[in-house]
Amino acid sequence: MIDRNADVPEDKRIDFRIGVNLGDIIADGRDIYGDGVNIAARLEALAEPGGICISRVVRDQIRDKLTYPFEDMGEQTVKNIARPVRAYLLTELPRNWSHHGFLAGALCLKGDIDEARTETAEMLKLKPEVTSVARLRAILATMGVGDPRLQALREKTVYAGLRRAGFPED
């Protein structure tokens, strides 16, 4: 959304807020409810537009696995939750190697070849083994993102854009 919003007037932008919690939920058909869902909804309200807010439970789970920078907001009293909730705001949205690759493809399709080449170079700095479209396809498949519908979409967008920017096929 950040990249999409770059060229969109402020009054037309879509800025999501995300609240993440780990807790019990109750599924009833297509509905879910319970404290786990309610806390996530309250954390969402604490996030800034375009931001992510997580609970202490989530922070404890990702602390040693992900190095995203979070700001401790302290204990927050939120509507319809009996106890205060410890909240953390993501302070910087990370860009990993795949983000650069997908952005390069999209920029190329948009006609921004020079920017696409810059993003491709950033991707290669972070993931030098991505040497071709075929290699990118294989790496994504091993990561569990080989769903045939997504693969078909990537063929028409990301991979086509990377090829147009001069990224080799094999």
Tell which wins on pLDDT, 159 or 73.
73
> What is the predicted pLDDT for the residue at 158?
75
Same structural domain for residues 126 and 70?
no
Produce one character per residue of 43-72: b if its CB has 16 or more CB atoms within 10 Å, e if not.
bbebbeeebbbbbeebbeeeeeeeeeebee
Domain boundary among 90, 111, 126: 90
Residues 82 and 110 grouped into a single domain: no
153, 100 contact by CB (below 8 A): no
Q: CA–CA separation, 73 vs 38, rounded Å?
A: 18
Question: How many alpha carbons lie under 13 Å from residue 96 in its C-beta half-sphere?
Answer: 4
65 or 73, which is more confident? 73
Is the model's pLDDT at 108 over the cut of 80? Answer: no
Q: What is the CATH number of the domain that holds 38?
A: 3.30.70.1230
Domain count, the chain: 2
Full domain range(s) for residue 32: 2-90
Q: Same domain, yes or no, for 86 and 158?
A: no
**Full-model pTM:** 0.55
Residues 109, 150, single domain; the answer is yes
